[in-house]
Amino acid sequence: MNKRINTILIPVLALVFIISCAKKGSISGGEKDETPPVFVKAFPPNFSTNFDKKEIRIYFDEYIKLKDAQQQIIVSPPMDPKPTITPLGGASKYIKIQFEDTLLVNTTYSINFGESVEDNNEGNAYPFFRYVFSTGDFLDSLSIKGTITDAIKNEADPNITIALYEIDEEYSDSLVFNTVPRYVTNTLDSTVFNFYNLKKGKFKLIALKDASSNYLYEPKQDKIGFYEDIVTIPEDTAKIFNLNLFKEVLGYKALLPKQVSKNEFIFPFEGQLDSMKIKLLSDTPEDFKELVYKDQKKDTLHYWFKPFFETDSLIFEVTNTKGYRDTLITRFKDQYKDSLQLSSSIRSTVKLNQNYTFTANTPLDSINQEKITLTDKDTLNVPFSVKLNTSKNEAELIFDKAEDNSYTLQMLPEAVKDFIGNVNDTINFNFRTKKLADYGTIFLTLQNVKTYPVIVQVTNEKNDVISEKIAEKEELITFDHLNPGKYLIRIMIDSNKNGKWDTGDFLKGIQPEVVRYFPDLIDVRANWELKQTFILE
């Protein structure tokens, strides 16, 4: 009897032990699903002709969702209002498209979903799915392709809208401001574009960094690029078009001034400054004085005056060297008076090849060097001079700098006086220099430059200019005192020889001045001298 019980219990106990051990682990769900959704069918079918429906349904083999639909889904030609496309924020086995707009006759439409179609669980994308139909008897089947570059940056922005405007008796370049194009597509996250299902004809090809996503060019916020010649289809279908995006300089316009303190107005403006002049037309006291300088960061002029006087409003006349003239009226009232505050953009370290500069929130008027001292880390006095630049409202401290040293600039009361009579309290600025060995140097040789001058810039990876030189001829260009890091080198062809890079103008058909980037990042190391040759193509 006992023997029989033992015979039964041993297998049972073994099974319990196995189950117990199994509970300590976790159940595997198998390999991750990396298969994208599969298109099953559509009603009406994809590539239909004589299309006359108000709704489309596109079915897939599993539940899908639409990701970033507003940015990814492009309907060409554009519709106003745009069609309603679902699901948005949910999951479904089909996409429903409902048209609110009347479809054009004898027109091929393309709905490009980009990479928006994903399966609901894993997010696997069905890339570049397109639904195409025609309201006529046949589908247009021609295509063109191209690339996008940026006129000034080394990489173009993503999600660039590319547009084709049909050249007919109603076409003019100004249509880009108020009329949607015949065909549109988008680069999404790449720098290439493709147009499919185009008809035969002549077109204007442009690119937009379309901030409002309305297919209209708004120069205040959009970049634009354009192909100079007319695109003829099918003759030009074998070409690869390149469109170079640039930000236009707006036409000059003075905006309404604003009083910001007792003795100051700011004058915002759009476009190039072109020696903007401000003249106060209102009656003023006999001892009235004014001072104007440009803000170093914004498109704004600072207008200061003294003494303060009582009136309800002021009338200003604004002009520039290109014939612009406008009269601006603004309210005027007593406000608080600004106090003098000194500051410097150099936070802690001044390079051995640069001067220490400081500025103020009010216009600098005079500096008394006898009330200023400069001492080094050994508290020894360092000889210096101060150069005042009222056009920049900036003062420059000029002295011989020593390596690996620290300095204290002390200004006693009344060392600095501003335009409205304020003086400073005691203030100290502390800064230092590094060792020369802490910096790196680039020796740059240019080859195959067709025309001079050229502007040569070293920038960081964010395209901020670190150093700039103008080369008038073939010569060795030295960029020294560079902090260790990775840099870009770009060459600007100064075609009009004005010492700066000029952008383009769409309506005038002017492309931006040519910019070329050295193809690789330059790795600058401390105490290194790097020789580099840049061969322009």
Q: What is the pLDDT of residue 22?
A: 44
Beta-bridge partners for 254: 269
Q: What's the pLDDT tens digit per position in 190-224?
A: 999 999 999 999 999 999 999 998 999 999 999 99
The DSSP code for 505 is B
Given a cut of 70, whether residue 17 has pLDDT beyond it is: no
Q: Which two tokens stand for residue 122?
A: 């894993």
Q: Mean per-residue pLDDT for 433-440?
A: 96
* Cα separation, 191 vs 365, whole angstroms: 51
pLDDT, greater one: 5 or 488 = 488
Considering only 3-7, 340-344, 474-478, which range has the smallest mean pLDDT? 3-7
Q: How far apart are the first and last CA of the chain?
A: 99
Q: What CATH number belongs to 437-535?
A: 2.60.40.10
Do the Cβ atoms of 452 and 482 come closer than 8 Å?
no
Give the residue from 74, 78, 285 showing the smallest Cα distance to 193: 74
For residues 3-14, give the mean pLDDT.
Answer: 44
| Closest C-alpha among 451, 466, 441, 445 to residue 518 | 445
Q: Which residues of 87-103 are buried (b: 16+ CB within 10 A; e: fewer)?
A: beeeebbbbebebeeeb
Q: What is the pLDDT of residues 452-480, one digit of tens each?
A: 999 999 999 999 999 999 999 989 999 99
Is it the case that residue 1 has pLDDT exceeding 60? no
Give me the phi and psi of 163, to 5 degrees please.
-130, 145
Q: Which H, E and C letters describe 351-384, residue by residue? A: CCCCCEEEEECCCEEEECHHHEEEEECCCCECCC
112 band by pLDDT with thresholds 50, 70 and 90: very high
Per-residue confidence (pLDDT) for residue 19, from 0 to 100: 42
Instruction: Tokens for 250, please give them.
Output: 């707006």
User: How many whole angstroms from its chain centre is CA 467?
Assistant: 20
d(CA 159, CA 72): 9
- 89 neighbors 129 (Cβ within 8 angstroms): no
Summarised one tens digit per residue, pLDDT across range 360-376 is 999 999 999 999 999 99
* Local structure of 434: helix, strand or coil: coil
For residues 118-136, average pLDDT: 91
What is 258-331's CATH number, 1.10.3470, 2.60.40, 1.10.20, 2.40.128?
Answer: 2.60.40
pLDDT reading at 443 higher than 80: yes
Residue 498: exposure state from Cβ atoms within 10 A (0-12, 13-18, ≥19): exposed
pLDDT of residue 88: 83
Please give the residue that has the higher pLDDT: either 48 or 14: 48
Contact 515, 151 (CB under 8 A): yes
**Residue 153: what pLDDT?**
94
Q: Which helix (DSSP H) or strand (DSSP E) does residue 66 occupy?
A: strand 55-66
Q: How many CB atoms lie within 10 A of CB 166?
A: 16
What kind and span of H or E run contains 103? none
Which amino acid is it at 212?
Answer: S
Grouping H, G, I as helix, E, B as strand and the rest as coil, residue 393 is: coil
Q: Which residue from 355, 338, 327, 523 is spatially nearest to 420, judged by alpha carbons?
A: 338
Report the C-alpha gap between 441 and 447 in whole angstroms. 20
Q: Where are the strands (E) in 99-200, listed by range?
A: 108-112, 117-119, 130-134, 142-150, 161-166, 183-186, 192-198
CA distance 237 to 231: 9
Local structure of 186: helix, strand or coil: strand
Assess whether pLDDT exceeds 80 at residue 93.
yes
Q: What is the mean pLDDT of the chain?
A: 91
Kindly report the CA angle at 389 between 388 and 390, in degrees rounded to 5?
A: 110
In terms of Cβ atoms closer than 10 Å to its own Cβ (0-12, 13-18, 19+), residue 262 is middle
The whole-model pTM stands at 0.84
Please provide the size of the chain in residues. Answer: 537
Decide the pairing of beta strands 515-517 and 416-418. unpaired
Average pLDDT on 18-35 reads 54
Query: What pLDDT band is residue 485 in, cutting at 50, 70 and 90?
Result: very high
Which of 127, 155, 160 lies closest to 38, judged by CA? 127
Statement: 142-245 belongs to CATH 3.30.465.10? no
The percent of residues in the chain predicted with pLDDT above 70, rounded, is 94
DSSP conformation class of 307: S
- Write out 217-257 in H/E/C secondary structure: CCCCCCEEEECCCCEEECCCCCCEEEEEEECCCCCCEECCC
For residue 4, name the pLDDT band (cuts at 50, 70, 90). Answer: very low
Between β-strands 142-150 and 240-245, what pairing exists: parallel, antiparallel or unpaired? parallel
Domain 342-434 coded CATH 2.60.40.1220: yes
Residue 143 pLDDT greater than 50, yes or no: yes
Tens digit of pLDDT for each residue in 144-175? 999 999 999 999 999 999 999 999 998 999 99
Q: Is 323 or 327 the better-scoring residue by pLDDT? A: 327
Cα dist from 5 to 1, 12, 15, whole Å = 6, 11, 16
Ranges in the chain annotated CATH 2.60.40.10: 142-245, 437-535
The CATH number of 39-134 is 2.60.40.1220
